[in-house]
Amino acid sequence: MAGKTRINLNAILKIMGILLIIEGVFMISSLGFSAWYDPDCLSHLRFFDPLHDFLPLLVSGSVILFIGVILWLSNKKLDQNSIGKREGYVIVSMAWVIISLFGAIPFMLSGVTDNYTDAFFETISGFTTTGATIFSDIESIPKGILFWRSMTHWIGGMGIIVLSLAILPILGIGGMQLFVAEVPGVTPDKLHPRITQTAKRLWIIYVILTLLQTGLLALGGMSLFDSLCHAFGTMATGGFSTRNDSIAGFSPYIQYVITFFMIMAGMSFTLHYFVLKGQFKKVISNEELKHYLYIILLSTGMIGIALLLVQNQSVESAFRNSLFQVVSIVTTTGFITSDYLLWPYFTWLLLFLLMFTGGCAGSTGGGIKIVRILLLFKNSSMELKRIVHPQAILPVRLNGKSISQGIIFNVLAFFLIYIIIFAFGSLVMSMLGLEFETAIGSVAASLGNIGPGLGMVGPVENYSAIPTAGKWILAFFMLLGRLELFTVLILFSVAFWKR
């Protein structure tokens, strides 16, 4: 007899505790930059002072750590069977909300935001690697808060859940269900049969690339603080910058370095692992990677030509600006070097369409993902052949392997739901009083985890003018996009809660 299923609340609360402990540790690490840039911080130990952030960060991090430890210790020891499929989906969906709710505290206590809606919006935008901001004067924010803001990107990029997978087995908790819920994909290659080893390898690659980019940015004249923050934003494909003009004020060298690492971050981390193992043939023959690079090159060429002909930019400038913006949008990073709304209308449309592509599956990017779009085209092409040859068996193939009908149906469902949510969300935002360009731009940018959109939320604007209700709606879309729809939407299904 069907009925409501029992959820292991102990497992959920214990893992929430672990995640809050991790969040608290990362938050307290921001105190170093707070003290370095404000040597007299100990004489300014007060709350709601937008110029000083040491006490707000210290108190916030300590409270989060305390709550995390209480949740961890107060729930009984869990075994390998404590986390089932339902617990996995609930934990992942709740995790991003909980860490964002707590991660917003320093923004409020420091006074850099005057209401909790803005603080939560900024925080979930960071953790989901969206990069949509409500701040108009970023450079006036204390360095500790700015570092924490960029840190939310880095934590969210690879996923705090994946990070916890390397810790859970030590505590006697299995993590496979968490990994399945956190990394929904088409056909992800397994790096290692043990999920813990997979998590460790992913994070090692992530850290190595982050440190390498930090070093190259520092060689270009960036301070250590700016280098770290921009490396966090790049590898997480997040886009939070420490400057009001994003990347526009930095040298061409810096812009090319960030462009290169955005491309790397938009690739599947499985391919990075294959490179480290010397398995270059698997990388070169990967169809998704080829089409990912084709889209970048073709779009860069089209926009570059338009900038040369219409705006009379130099060849190098046109190439650099077009390449940077195309890569930033395709990888859903959201860094800016130029106001693309001042470019020809044709480039607007192309960049808007690129907002839906996303990076490769298994990357830190958002969007629909290249592999899904590739499978859609392959299936459509094969369907035409099936009409001509109804008796023929014509499977869809990817990288030389036949793709099951179940995966094709999943891709079709994902694409349809994605477009429906975009259309419905745009309608709702229009009902809140936003003009057409702003409505579709804000929804596309939030659902795709991109950041800058069109209209009032364009590349040189921010989301501060969005109504309060609109910010909460867009925050939900950020979560949907980060967890690729199904992980969150399945919680609203009656069947999910049945036995």
Q: Give the pTM.
A: 0.92
DSSP letters, 160-216, are HHHHHHTTGGGGT---HHHHHHHS--SSPPPS-SSHHHHHHHHHHHHHHHHHHHHHH
Mapped onto helix, strand or coil, the DSSP state of residue 448 is coil
Confirm if 244 and 339 have CB atoms less than 8 A apart: no
pLDDT above 80: residue 182: no
Average pLDDT over residues 294-313: 93
Angle subtended by helix axes 143-158 and 54-73, to nearest 10: 40
Share of the chain above pLDDT 70, in %: 90
Torsion on CA atoms 238, 242, 245, 246, rounded to nearest 10 = -30
pLDDT score for 187 = 46
pLDDT in tens, 63-117: 999 999 999 888 766 665 667 778 888 888 898 999 999 999 999 999 999 999 9
Which has the closest alpha carbon to 459: 119, 131, 143? Answer: 131
pLDDT in tens, 333-382: 999 999 999 999 999 999 999 999 999 988 888 899 999 999 999 999 98
pLDDT in tens, 447-472: 999 999 999 999 999 999 999 999 99
Instruction: For residue 446, count other CB atoms closer than 10 A to its CB.
Output: 33
Average pLDDT over residues 205-224: 95
Q: Which residue has the tokens 């937008």?
A: 50
DSSP annotation of 442: H
CA-to-CA distance for 484 and 319, rounded, in angstroms? 32
pLDDT above 60: residue 172: no
Q: Which two tokens stand for residue 29?
A: 């690490």
Residue 289 — very low, low, confident or very high, per pLDDT cuts 50/70/90?
Answer: very high
CA-to-CA distance for 499 and 496, rounded, in angstroms? 8
- Exposed, middle or buried by CB within 10 Å (0-12, 13-18, 19+), for 35? middle
pLDDT above 80: residue 164: no
pLDDT above 80: residue 323: yes
Average pLDDT over residues 226-239: 96
Domain ranges of the chain: 9-184, 280-352
Residue 192 — very low, low, confident or very high, per pLDDT cuts 50/70/90?
Answer: low
pLDDT score for 161 = 59
pLDDT score for 39 = 84
Residue 45 — very low, low, confident or very high, per pLDDT cuts 50/70/90?
Answer: confident
Confirm if 96 and 124 have CB atoms less than 8 A apart: yes
Residue 12 — very low, low, confident or very high, per pLDDT cuts 50/70/90?
Answer: confident
pLDDT score for 183 = 57
